[in-house]
Every structure is written in C-alpha cells, then in structure tokens.
Amino acid sequence: MPREIYKEFDGYDEIIREREVLRKYGLDFSPQKDAPEQYIARLHPRRLTLRVSDIIPETSSTGTLRLVRPEGALPPFLAGQYIALFLEIGGVRTARPYSISSGPHQTGYYDLTVRRVKNGLVSNYLLDEIKPGDLLESSGPEGRFYHNPLFHDRTMVCLAGGSGITPFMSMIREVVERGLDREIFLFYGNRTLQDAAFHNQLLYCNERFANFHYLPVAETPEREYPGLSGLITGELIKKSLKDVEDKTFYLCGPQAMYDFCIPELEGLGVAPRKIRREIYGPPAQVTQAPNWPVEIKTDQFFTVKVKSGPELEVPAGTPLGTSLERQGVTIPSLCRSGECSRCRVKILSGKVFEPPGTLVRRSDRRYGYTHACVAYPLSDLEIML
C-alpha cells in the first residue's frame, strides 16, 4: 500500500472538514470544475467541421457558400467577424479568412460570400470544386471589425469595395432584421452594378427601412447611367451625408480603396479614431507600399534557413508564410493580413519588409518576431517557427 503522503500536508484535515461542510450545504462546486472550460470551448472553438448545405450564385464572379454544423450548434459571432477555412489544395496546406455575410441572429448557418480572384488558389477552388454536401474545416469566429456600441457612434458609415461588402451584409442584416436603433449609410463601389453582390437585396432594404441608406457607386458605368459614378470621393460622401459629426466610418475592400478613401475622409475632418478598417490580405503589389526598397525586385530569391528544419529558396515579392507553405512548411494562420499574430515567427538573422499597418506587438518586435503572412524577405534569413 503506497504511503498517502498528501495526508501529511499542513492543513489537510482542515480542508477535508471544510469540504464536508460545503457538501452538507450544497456549496461544493468542485465536480463542475471543468464546466467553464467546456463552456468556453463551445463559444470559442479552435476548429469547426462545417458542411456545405447550399451554394447560392450572387454575380458572375461571386457565390455564397452556406455552411451548417453537422454536430452541435454554431458558435455565436459578432456581425463583421470572419472564420478562417483550412484546406489542402494540390498538396498545399493553407488557410484563408472569409467574413461571415449572414446575420449573427441567424444561428442555423454561416454564409461565406466568395469572389473569384484571378489566379487565386482558394477562391477558385471554393467556387469551382466545392459542392453541396462537402465538409470544410474552419476556425471559430475571429476578428475585431464590428460595431462596438460602447465606443462607436449610433450612425455607421460603411465604405465597401468589391468583396468587402460581406462584413457589412452581416451588420446590415442584423440592424434591419432585429430592428436595432442604429443608422447605416452604405457606399458600395464596384466596377459596374453587375459586379455588386446583394444589389437587389440592398435596394429592397433601402426602400423598406428608414434607417438604412444604400449608395451604390459604379466606377466605370455604362453610358447614361444616372447613379453615382467614379470613386468614393470625399465630395461624394459629403454630398450624401449632412455632415461627418457623430459618425463612425468602417472601410472594407482592396488596399487601393484605403489608400484613396482614408485621405479623402481625413480631408473631410474625420478623426483617425473614427475610421475602422478590415484589411483583406497582404498588399496586391507590395512594391507600391511606402518604404519598399526600390533596389529589391519581386522576383529576386533569398535563402531561408528554418531552425531545425529545411533550407528553402523564396522570392522577395511573396509573403514568407505563403512561400513556406507552398514548399511544405505550414505556419498556423488565421487573418493572413498581419493582425492576429497567429503566424508569428522569430527572425534570427536577416531582414524582412512589413507593410505599414502590420500590427506586431511591441514585445514581439523587441524580441525579433514578425508576422509571416505579411513579411517579405529582403535578404537571406534564418528563422525559428
């Protein structure tokens, strides 16, 4: 019989007596000690298995994947959040984030609305290969692009470009379908109106709900188009809103849209703290980013030595994380736009370029960490995963 050494600890008898008393009065909660953890795992699961229940065409280049959870309920989310899909395509294990376009009050499914990207790996795979009944693996809901009633104004001014409509669709659906006391102005830029996903639903909401205002903007409209055209300029915003006071601005779209619209908003006197934006991945043309060293060409190759791992050749013009996963070294990722820090790697030697706006924690920067999803090699590197 092994010696029960714990009985010899100071205070053992008092603890046992105390437990007896708690049990007697129904105050012993120790049998439920795992309950909070289980509850948190239900609300914030790391992984979900989802089944495609339907695929809804939206425009010639965009479709909505309706996803249900075969086992258990879907975790709740805030309108504007995304999930990351984890996939293996042609032997490459990768992930891509997609904003949930259905409303958060719709608890039976998540809608992901995907726009085809020319030569894009995942968007084309989702739109061409995935069929109803297929299973997909994802993260739980993530992201900080949502309306926070404590800090944000009651009036939301949303500027969407192309596929950047999706988080706003979720916010609009929540506000109009749940009758929330909030006002939304939506400026939605597309090349032509035929490219505008959800156009008819948005026109309907504009007619039906006094607190929603839909302002589609066609960049290159057909001739004699009577609506708003060109880019979403400060002048156009000013004309459509009475003023910019007591309003929070939300931007979601391609990098070029931020580069253009943020100075336009600042020109109207909108304070930077009133501008919130979701970044949709690494810059399309990193060489156009401010401070990119002109002497480095995108097709220049550098050697990356992974500590206790392989040595690989990677191009300067592709994010480190993407180059590594294409060669079989997968780094965990979620947002793939430099924000969530899931893909952090330590640079032991060498130099990388991080586009402006990359959110590396101060302590991470101090110890040489970078976010591989948006870090571009500028020299030979040694890294630790």
Ligand X SMILES: Cc1cc2nc3c(=O)[nH]c(=O)nc-3n(C[C@H](O)[C@H](O)[C@H](O)COP(=O)(O)OP(=O)(O)OC[C@H]3O[C@@H](n4cnc5c(N)ncnc54)[C@H](O)[C@@H]3O)c2cc1C
Check binding of 208 to ligand X (CB under 6 A).
no
**Shortest spacing between CB 85 and ligand FES, in angstroms:** 13
Q: Which of ligand FES, ligand X, none does residue 334 bind (CB under 5 to 8 Å by kind)? A: ligand FES
Q: Nearer to ligand X by C-beta: 174 or 278?
A: 278
- The sheet that has 311-315: what strands, in order across it? 311-315, 301-306, 381-384, 344-349, 369-371
The token pair at 368 is 């040489």
Placement of tokens 């109803």 in the chain: 132
For residue 278, the tally of other CB atoms under 10 A from its CB is: 25
Check binding of 247 to ligand FES (CB under 6 A).
no
Placement of tokens 């097709």 in the chain: 299
Check binding of 99 to ligand X (CB under 6 A).
yes
Size of the site for ligand FES (CB under 6 A): 12
Q: Nearer to ligand X by C-beta: 233 or 318?
A: 318
Angle at Cα 29 formed by Cα 24 and Cα 34, nearest 5°? 155
Check binding of 85 to ligand FES (CB under 6 A).
no
Q: Are strands 155-161 and 62-68 parallel, antiparallel or unpaired?
A: unpaired
Side-chain half-sphere exposure of 22, counting CA atoms within 13 A: 11
Check binding of 98 to ligand X (CB under 6 A).
yes
Q: Do 62 and 114 meet the contact criterion of CB atoms below 8 Å apart?
A: yes
Q: Which residue is nearest to ligand X (CB)?
A: 120
Rounded Cα–Cα distance for residues 346 and 344 (Å)? 7
The token pair at 95 is 């992930």
The token pair at 156 is 């939301």
Check binding of 175 to ligand FES (CB under 6 A).
no
Q: Which of 122, 180, 359, 384 binds ligand X (CB under 6 A)?
A: 122
Rounded Cα–Cα distance for residues 27 and 19 (Å)? 9
Q: Which of ligand X, ligand FES, none does residue 371 bind (CB under 5 to 8 Å by kind)? A: ligand FES
Q: Which of 275, 343, 352, 381 binds ligand FES (CB under 6 A)?
A: 343
Check binding of 296 to ligand FES (CB under 6 A).
no
Q: How far is CA 23 from CA 9, 12, 45, 183, 230, in A?
A: 22, 17, 33, 53, 72
Q: Which of ligand FES, ligand X, none does residue 138 bind (CB under 5 to 8 Å by kind)? A: none
Beta-carbon contacts of residue 126 (< 8 Å; ≥ 6 apart)? 65, 85, 112, 114
Q: Nearer to ligand FES by C-beta: 100 or 158?
A: 100
The interface with ligand X within residues 312-331 (CB under 6 A) comprises 318
Check binding of 335 to ligand FES (CB under 6 A).
yes
**Shortest spacing between CB 361 and ligand FES, in angstroms:** 11
Placement of tokens 């899931």 in the chain: 342
Check binding of 278 to ligand X (CB under 6 A).
yes
| φ/ψ (deg, to 5) at 285 | -130, 95
Q: Which of 64, 81, 255, 333 binds ligand FES (CB under 6 A)?
A: 333
Please report, as ranges, the residues that interact with ligand FES according to CB under 6 A.
333-336, 338-343, 371, 373
Please report, as ranges, the residues that interact with ligand X according to CB under 6 A.
82, 96-99, 113-115, 117-124, 143, 163, 166, 278, 280-281, 284, 318, 335-337
